[in-house]
Structure 1
Amino acid sequence: MHLFFPRTHTTYTHTMARKWQTLALVVLPLILNALAITRYIPEGQETLFGIQPSSTDTSLATSYTGSAAYDPRTLNPPIPPTDPPVNTQFAIRLANGDIPGLSIRHHGAFLGFSIEFSVSNHVLGRNGSALSVPFLNLLANLQRRSGRITVRVGGNSQETATMVPSLASGRTLEKDKNGLYNPTQTPPLVYTPEILYMMSNISSLVNVDWFLGIPFNDTTNWHLDIVQKGQQILGDRVLGFQVGNEPDLYLSHGRRNEGYGPISYKGEISSLLNTMRSQGLKTQNQLIAPSVNGKWTIGEVIDTGILVDFANEIGILSVEKYPSDNCAAAFKTGAQVRQPQDMLPTYLTHATGVRITQQYLNISRFAQEVGKPFMMFETNSASCGGFPGVSDAFAAALWGLDYGLMMAYSNFTGALFHVGGQNVYYSPFTPPPSNRTASRQWTVGPMYYAVLAMTEVLGRSNRSQVIDLGVNNGEQSTPGYAIYENGVPMRVALFNYLDDASGAHDLRVAISIDGGEVQQPVSAPSSVRVKYLLAEHVTTKSNFTWAGQTLGANFKSDGRLRGEESIVSVPCDTATNTCTVTVPAPGFALVFLNDKAYEDSAPSGNTVTFATTARTRTVNTATIDPKALETSNGHGGKDRADIQSTSKGSSPNGASRLKEGLTQVVMTGLGVGFGAALFTLL
């Protein structure tokens, strides 16, 4: 289902969106509440796609031919070390006052999403009048905790994206299968301004700000429609425009001639700015650069004088980095293929996040000196789609959250986890393999849970400062962080990467607080509240829980958390002035040290969630061949629509569409009463 917005002309504004939102939330309930009935969504429909959604039967992997997003392959959890064994009982003593080593101040929306342009219409919606309800719900979950969300639409596919007024097919985006380019076989895109109207309408419902990318494939004749229309339609909702996606890889990808380097890139930005000014486009703080991958260092780009010459135009410094890649397996490059079982331990250690962030410490300091935000503009578990059994398993949730906290501690100002198509393992969320299927059939991956938990780790105060505590004598499988505000410890974040169902490797962490510079004695509150991020094993692939709530298994989510929220109250020992918190193996625990810490993180009631209870006006009698659905995206099948990844082997053609029906949907309002809106059943 998609949220239905009326559109009357091409200058649709935020004001008009708000008017329609008011109509949807206030007037229509009077008409629709009497008509709405519960829509039955058949259980088990996911078997049409060739797998059972929560299966852990590894034998399925040998015969599985469907999309990577639903690969049933399950790995073996590593056995906890015994020589020497990991210490499972240790103490953390926190201090009040001016603590050395704290990060800069952060907001709860530190982690966001980077959506590959080529799948944006499948994620955001069908067009400006039909928004994806599950996507709205997924964003609303985060807004209730952090107050806002940041989303980038771009990636490799932005580089050849061309805006046109309309497409004969009526779609908002199409791919040119004959124009595949670079080693990731990214197809060129043709799209309409509807993509931007979708973003604007989403922002009228959920507090989302956007990043966009300027095509860098033709630097002689700049294609700046994305800037002109982006500034016109999104206004201050667009935070900036990326100038080149990994320009340090242009040469190796065959997109620039020999001799191309940082100086050449700087010259292209100069040419771009001249063209923007000649067209009357806003330039101040509009550019995001250099978004290098590591072939060049960001320092080499800065040394060209880019921040001297374009100090007013570059608003954000950026890099892109994945800890590893699965390119040999994904693209049959002939290089040694990395085996997922061998890679799994590298995502069960604090050391991986430390290794990535250490290389950027000098730049993060420099960014503070020159007053520029410094972002990890695109990242995830592994490039070229991630690893089966790793990127889609609970290990990735723990690792992604740890990695996010390490970036916060290292003074990044934000990071975006990448969202690909059906052919990647790492996406935080994946729509079903046809944008005409029921809305409660999305698949939510582990990286979304990392983002969800991170919003509560940092809270809504915008004053959270992070420190890596180096707990347990620096043991890499049991890292811990403290979150401070104005010199007061507010929360403690504890990880347990070990996997042991017996409980023998559950951590018992004794937390106490002393007065630090204010010379107060060691103390502890009478009790603390704890929320847990849990799964049965590090290799579990679905039904993860955050504070007892889940987004379900494959093909089971409409973006709303299900189940009762579970918050554990842990009594503290007033004799020893310690609060001992247990962290299961595996698991993550967020400890709230006082009431304010909890209140600043707890979901607020000011955001609407979008339900999918509906009554269809027109009877939908369409049927579709199960094999067509099974191959509607990913490797295999030739009739696949706007839902591909940018990976080699993905077809750019269209899948069969299910019959449309106009559907009335009742939305449950949280904090604003009950509301209703019109949806299109896709």
Structure 2
Amino acid sequence: MRSSASALVATLASSLWLARSALADVNLSPALNASNAGTLSVTISPSYVGFGIEPSDLIVYTGSTSPNQLTYNLLSNLANYTGAPPHIRLGGNAGDTMLYDDSVTGTALQQNANPTGSGNARPSDYYTFGPDFLKALNNFPDGTPITYGLNLAYTGADALNRVVAQAQAAFEYVGTNPNGAKIVGLEIGNEPDLYIDLGYRSQNWSVYDFGNEWSSRAEAVYNQVLKPRGINSNYFEVATTATTATKNGQPFRISNLVNTGVAADNGIYVAGWNQHDYYYYVNVSNYQLTLPILLDLSTTVSQFREWTGQVQQALVTGKPYYLREMGSVGPNGLQGISETFANALWTFNFFFFAASIQISAVQMHMTQYSIAAPWQTNYMNGQGPHVRPTYYAWAAWSQIIGATCNTRIAQVSLSNQPGAYTNRLNAFAVYRGNALGSVVMINTQPYYSYSGNPSYQNFVLSLPGLAGRTVWLSVLSADGVESTSNVVWNGISYEQSGNGQPRTVNATQWTMTVGSDGTLTVPVRDSQVVVASTFRLGRESVNTANCENLASTTPGTTGTATGSGNAAPTFKSTSGFKSDMPLSKTAIIAIAAGGGVFLIALLGLFIWCCVRSCKKSNARKARASAMLKAPPRHDDHPLLERDFADESHASYPAYQNSPGLRGWESPMTSVSHGQQVHPSQSYHNMQPEYDYAPAGYQHSPQQPHAMHSPTPQQTQQYYQQHPAYLQSPYQNYAQQYGHGQHGHGHGRAY
């Protein structure tokens, strides 16, 4: 429905004109075709961005005998946008302390009365769990892809039988009917490069020992569990470096792992490489993190330099690189940073950065204690279940990527950036097939809601092939970087409903027209994201042919029963890494000429050391002794006991004094009862509460039994306490500077 056109066009036009006059223009020229875009991401899986869940906290997120409604709705939102639920990795430190026991009943973990396993903080057989724990994974939306972690830390005489039994149970109880999650990959062991420090292995244990243990378990699970089910051998993700706290090299780099048992039969069991990282880790990182540092985008690039190199090594092997455990602040976040809109901006930028350097999946880690988790289902720090600002990064990404299964991403260079905005601006081009679909413009200059009128930065796009075309604008915004609520993406709130379902709080749809000279000028407020698209986001239907093709050629991709598809089961190469490249003859002559006999002697010594280091016996001793004692990472428990979560609601998360109706373990408020969608309904039939129906969706409104709409008094009281955003993202800017005109394109709203 069109709004008052003249006022809205004048508002946007004034924003464009004054933004241009107030600040220097930032110029960018995204390629109109992917073939001219330079380095591109892999084709983005519809489940690309997802979540990692600490196994000891699984039931807090899934619910036990019935789905947790908040979790279910939030995952279903993303499935509605991309056509498939996000990828879940179930793994972490707790996973290496858990053994399967089919005699255990109920969903709760049981403490082992007679543990015999090794381990400093907890033995490797500290917990036991049974079938009901695994069945809880079926509380996720149908088809949710799962990478499931198996216990490698346990080394008892029955260790091999135990890991086979655990894998067997996972396939027996997860996704065995038309409903529920699907196991698409297995991870053997969590962060083995920390096993010595955690007390799981002796001081002389090496990466070669890991390779042998890993391959023996992979072979056993394949022969006894996967092969009888017709599942390919390349089903296992190999754990790589989780810490850089080593010297004399990184033993668990991919270039080293391909020389261990992991490479048995040329990597026939390897589906991909499983990397972990955190941008900042409490009590490990050697500086104090602040919001301005977090939003300095150069710090993300520099912190991730080691892992960027690992991505390149993964590409050499021909196996995908999965970032299965990631976060801005580990293990459980920092107050004043992790629960703010600043973290949403960082997370959103990181998703695109990760894709642009050819990472194949990103899972952000969650525990029940974490204020960095995008939503909370229990009671902690005086707050009940709620959606945090970071969730909007997933929602925005998912709408931008869409459901066509042919999306690729490239970073776009910026020129003429003002000095005050150094490392605060970023841009990415998003391609549907070969055609430019969207340009993502990010401004992370910190703006606080209490600091007065915000500044805007003009992004001046050169799009000569789109002259005269209409583009749609979508905005990710909040009052300020410190905001912990009332975030809006593309006019949608996921907080207002009280149960995670989307609500349109601003139905205005901004559009702009590319100028006749191919120029489009888009003002982006400080601490804001604006996406300009050649189509209206959220209206795409699933491209079934593309998605089936992607699933059949990519390990671990949603849509294939096995998770390994038809991808090549063996390595493409195990040599040719940058660190392995020999010096050319010219380089050797140049070194000799420049340094004389002394440099020649050094070169000879260097060559001798290289040859010597290739001998496995010496390399094993050197690498084992090189391991430093990094601080233990117990991600499943809070760092400070005074911040512990109230676990009395862990199994039955529900709003305090307002429990869910019978059959639910989920948050509700009286206001949201009229908008409930029962999780037994397929996410394909869940209609987001937009002011339009996305193409391809058919929905018949249903009111769940025994749920009642709020009274008018309740509704009025709710919206007085939770005001909706009904203004244009440019409104404050226009009110600040007045009205004007601009010659480079114009905008309008619907």
| Alignment TM-score, normalising by the size of structure 1 | 0.70
1:569: which partner in 2? Answer: 510
What's 1:36 paired with?
Answer: none
Q: Deviations over 1:599-658 (max 9, x none)?
A: 439999xxxxxxxxxxxxxxxxxxxxxxxxxxxxxxxxxxxxxxx943356679962779
Q: Paired residue for 1:67?
A: none
Find 2:527's aligned residue among 586, 597, 616. 586
Deviations 1:123-165 (A, max 9, x none): 10123xx111111100111011111121111211111112233
Paired residue for 1:172? Answer: 108
- SS in structure 2 at match of 1:662: coil
C-alpha distance after superposition, 1:316-349 (max 9, x if no partner): 2111011111136xxxxxx96x54xx43222102
For the pair 1:506 / 2:456, whether they are aligned, the reply is yes
Structure with a larger share of its residues in strand: 1
Q: In 2, Cα distance between the equivalents of 1:279 and 1:663?
A: 37
Q: Which moved more, 1:110-119 or 1:175-184?
A: 175-184
Residue matched to 1:379: 326
Match of 2:280 in 1: 324
Give 1:463's aligned residue.
Answer: 406
Q: For residues 275 and 679 of structure 1, what CA distance do their matches in structure 2 show?
A: 50
- Asked if 1:443 is matched to 2:386, the reply is yes
Residue matched to 2:166: 226
Query: Is this contact kept in 1: 2:375–2:386, CA < 8 A?
Result: yes
Shift of residue 580 of structure 1?
1.9
- Looking at structure 2, the residues matched to 88 and 390 of structure 1 have their Cα atoms a distance apart, in angstroms, of 30
Q: How far, CA to CA, are the matches of 1:186 and 1:274 in structure 2? A: 22
Alpha-carbon distance between aligned partners in 2 of 1:171 and 1:200, rounded to the nearest angstrom: 12
Change (3 A) 1:654 1:421: closer
Q: Distance in 2 between matches of 1:185 and 1:540?
A: 41
Whether 1:311 aligns to 2:267 is yes
Deviations 1:160-206 (A, max 9, x none): 112233547x44334579989656999943322123222235343xx
Which of 307, 323, 339 does residue 392 from structure 1 map onto?
339
| Mapped contact 1:242–1:289 kept (Cα < 8 A) | yes
Which residue of 1 is the match for residue 637 of structure 2? 646
Q: 1:107 aligns with which of 11, 34, 45?
A: 45
Q: 1:317 to 1:663 in 2, by over 3 A?
A: closer
Q: Equivalent residues in 2 for 1:352-367 (5 A)?
A: 352-367=299-314
Between stretches 568-577 and 382-391, larger displacement belongs to: 568-577
Question: 1:276 and 2:221 equivalent?
Answer: yes
Residue of structure 1 in register with 2:207 after alignment: 262
Greater mean deviation of Cα atoms: 303-312 or 262-271: 303-312
Could you tell me which of 211, 214, 234 is aligned with 2:147?
Answer: 211
Q: Quote the Cα distance in structure 1 between the aligned partners of 2:472 and 2:443.
A: 18
- What amino acid is the match of 1:191? F
How far does the alpha carbon of each residue in 1:391-431 deviate from its partner, in whole angstroms, 9 at most, with x for none?
A: 11111111111111111000011110111112x22111111
SS in 2 for 1:250: helix
Aligned to 1:617: none
* Structure 1 gap segments, 5+ residues each: 1-85, 329-334, 516-522, 605-643
Q: What amino acid maps onto 1:245 in structure 2?
A: N
**Which stretch has the larger CA shift, 379-388 or 406-415?**
379-388
Distance in 2 between residues matched to 1:602 and 1:238, nearest whole Å: 22
Where is the helix percentage greater, Structure 1 or Structure 2?
Answer: 2
1:265–1:310 CA distance, 2 compared to 1 (3 A): farther
1:157 matched residue in structure 2: 94
Question: How far is 1:369 from its partner?
Answer: 4.6
Change (3 A) 1:573 1:404: closer
Match of 1:94 in 2: 30
Residue 73 of structure 2: aligned partner: 137
Question: Does residue 301 of structure 1 match 2:292?
Answer: no
Kept in 2, the 8 Å contact 1:161–1:215? The answer is: yes
**Cα deviations across residues 564-585 of structure 1 (Å, max 9, x unaligned)?**
3545423225344322222111
Judge conservation of contact 1:159–1:215 (CA < 8 Å) in 2: yes
304-313 vs 402-411, greater mean Cα deviation:
304-313
Larger radius of gyration: 2
Partner amino acid, structure 2, of 1:428: P
Contact 1:398 1:450 in 2 (8 A): yes
Alignment CA distance shift 1:655-1:95 (3 Å): closer
Structure 1 residue 527 corresponds to structure 2 residue 466: no
State the secondary structure of the residue aligned to 2:198: coil
Match of 1:536 among 465, 479, 489: 479
Query: Of 133, 140, 165, which residue of structure 2 is paired with 1:195?
Result: 133
- 8 Å Cα contact 1:417-1:447 kept in structure 2: no
RMSD in angstroms over aligned alpha carbons? 3.6
Unaligned ranges ≥5, structure 2: 1-21, 177-181, 245-251, 545-634, 665-672, 679-685, 688-697, 708-750
**Counterpart Cα distance in 2 of 1:514 and 1:304:** 52
Match of 1:655 in 2: 648
The amino acid of 2:268's aligned partner reads N
Q: Which residue of 2 aligns with 1:425?
A: 371
Is the deviation greater in 303-312 or in 251-260? 303-312
3-state DSSP class of the match of 1:398? helix
DSSP 3-state at the match of 1:94: coil
Distance change >3 Å, CA 88–CA 598, structure 1 → 2: farther
Residue in 1 that maps onto 2:575: none
CA contact (8 A) 1:667 1:674 kept: no
Local SS of the residue matching 1:471: coil
CA distance in 1, matches of 2:452, 2:506: 25
**Cα pair distance change 1:383/1:573, threshold 3 Å:** closer
Structure 2 distance, partners of 1:175, 1:443, is 30
Q: Is the CA contact 1:324–1:382 (under 8 Å) kept in the aligned structure 2?
A: yes
Rounded to whole Å, the distance in 2 between the matches of 1:167 and 1:677 is: 34
Which residue of 161, 183, 197 maps to 1:252?
Answer: 197
The residue type equivalent to 1:600 in the other structure is E
Match of 1:618 in 2: none
Measured in 2, the distance between the counterparts of 1:513 and 1:232 equals: 53
**Matched-pair contact (CA < 8 Å) for 1:379–1:417:** yes
Alpha-carbon spacing, 1:569–1:181, altered in 2? closer, same or farther (3 Å): same
Tell me, yes or no, if the aligned pair for 2:97 and 2:124 is still in contact at 8 Å: no
- Superposed displacement of residue 444, structure 1: 1.8
**Which residue in the other structure is 2:62 paired with?**
124
Identical positions, percent: 20
Deviation at 1:353, TM superposition (A): 2.9
